[in-house]
Amino acid sequence: MTTVSVSLEQQADYRFEIRFGEGISSLIADEPSPLGKGGGPSPAQLLCASVGNCLSDSLLFALRKFKQAPEPLRCEVTAEVGRNPEGRLRILSIHSTITLGVVANSLEHLERALTQFEEFCTVTQSVRQAVPVRVTVIDAAGHTLRDQS
């Protein structure tokens, strides 16, 4: 087992500096107005970034295992934020769309990589235990290759 640690230090109001460890640049996070000043990504945006980054890394890893080059990848992630039955704000769902930098028919073993890459995504599989996550993969020509919840 490994552990991952970050430290947060309040700068002002809802603005926090997040430190990731030696040699890694820190990050400022802040709530949007009216709570904060929007001086950095919000916690919801950081969650979206984590899901999208992990999914993109997992797909890249799965394709590189077969010596394929899908670069440059792009990923757009949207979270639906709304009220739960108790009236509290929650992330209700997340949708990630990964766009390959090449057309699908230029990649060997693409179907195999598409069927398994999500299983290796530590963050997304952990988040899925509480929040529905939909993943769409499209190629550089705009063809939908996978669309799974």
Q: Domain-by-domain residue ranges, the chain?
A: 1-41, 43-148
Q: What is the mean pLDDT of residues 134-149?
A: 96
For the cut 90, the answer to whether the pLDDT of residue 1 exceeds it is: yes
Confidence of residue 8 (pLDDT cuts 50, 70, 90): very high
Per-residue pLDDT at 128 = 97
Q: DSSP of 70-101, one letter per residue? A: -PSPEEEEEEEEEE-TTS-EEEEEEEEEEE-S
For the cut 90, the answer to whether the pLDDT of residue 34 exceeds it is: yes
Mean pLDDT for the chain overall: 97
- Per-residue pLDDT of 115-139, as tens digits, reads 999 999 999 999 999 999 999 999 9
Q: Which two tokens stand for residue 37?
A: 């000043």
Question: Has domain 43-148 been given CATH number 3.30.300.20?
Answer: yes
Confidence of residue 46 (pLDDT cuts 50, 70, 90): very high
Per-residue pLDDT at 149 = 82
- Per-residue pLDDT of 65-89, as tens digits, reads 999 999 999 999 999 999 999 999 9
Distance CA 136, CA 71 (A): 17
Which phi and psi (to 5°) does residue 114 adopt?
-65, -35
